[in-house]
Amino acid sequence: MAKSNHWGPLAAAAGALVAGGLVLLVMLVVVEARPAEATFPGKSGKIAYQGYDGQDYEIYTINVGGGGKVPLTDNATTDYDPSYSPSGKKIVYAGSDGNDREIYKISAGGGGKVQVTDNNTDDFDPSYSPSGKKITYSGSDGNDREIYTIKPGGGGRFNVTDNSTGDYDPCYSPSGKKITYSGSDGQDYEIRTIKPGGGGRFNVTDNGADDLDPSWGSS
């Protein structure tokens, strides 16, 4: 299946909202909005999200009861896909370096921005490992999307998947021993698991419709 079909269900929903001058905003949300993938045990803290500032999307945090909104990023390019570190002290997200999308991390209170990836292709969907020692994300190998891991400070990039179809939305298991993601079987997108070091790939779903955005819970 063509990679554009990854957005098929969302694009169809956007079409239903054409009336009322919402086309531009809806398409921005369809293309840019991705879920924060990681949830770690512990006390509930603030919520990180991407919000529109009138020009583009920035990363914000807000109290769970509302109020206390803090802008973490403020620039002329779109930032999206925020995901907390296990400690809650860092947030990883995807943003533009002026040429393409790269993975960045920033302090949860703002400041301390670090560029984690640096290449000539789009990287997005970042999510921390439970140990906080790795970040997994979706990046291009020059042909299609693959799943990678990298150190939070950059370096040590590892190609977890290697195939001819698109792989998206990676999320670690609570044990850190598996990664779940959405990958194409050539017809549609299915939910899969794989070892962070590669190998042991398993098809969790197998049907004729797109399955997207997996998130791994704990018991």
The CATH number given to whatever domain includes residue 50 is 2.120.10.30
Instruction: For residue 195, give both structure tokens.
Output: 């070892």
Say how far apart CA 113 and CA 153 lie, in whole Å: 11
Q: Taking a C-beta distance cutoff of 8 angstroms, is the pair 60, 48 a contact?
A: yes
Give domain status of residue 209, yes or no: no
Give domain status of residue 208, yes or no: no
Number of domains in the chain: 1
Q: What is the pLDDT of residues 22-57, one digit of tens each?
A: 333 333 333 344 444 556 888 889 999 999 999 999
For a pLDDT cut of 70, what percent of the chain falls above it?
A: 82
What's the whole-number mean pLDDT along residues 62-88? Answer: 96
**Is the pLDDT confidence value at 67 over 70?**
yes
Edge-first strand order for the sheet with 202-203 is 167-172, 179-184, 189-194, 202-203
- Give the pLDDT confidence score for residue 36 in this predicted structure: 47
- Give the pLDDT confidence score for residue 107 in this predicted structure: 98
What's the whole-number mean pLDDT along residues 175-180? Answer: 97
Give domain status of residue 216, yes or no: no
Give domain status of residue 176, yes or no: yes
Q: Which residue did the predictor score with more confidence, 219 or 89?
A: 89
Q: What is the pLDDT of residues 112-128, one digit of tens each?
A: 999 999 999 999 999 99
Q: What's the chain's average pLDDT?
A: 86
**Is the pLDDT confidence value at 162 over 60?**
yes
pTM above 0.95, yes or no: no
Q: Taking a C-beta distance cutoff of 8 angstroms, is the pair 93, 107 a contact?
A: no
Give domain status of residue 212, yes or no: no
- Give the pLDDT confidence score for residue 218 in this predicted structure: 85
Residue-number span of the structural domain to which 131 is assigned? 3-203
- Give the pLDDT confidence score for residue 42 in this predicted structure: 83
DSSP state of 7: G
Say how far apart CA 205 and CA 209 lie, in whole Å: 10
> 156 — alpha (psi -120 to 50), left (phi > 0) or beta?
left
Q: How many residues does the chain have?
A: 219
Give domain status of residue 147, yes or no: yes
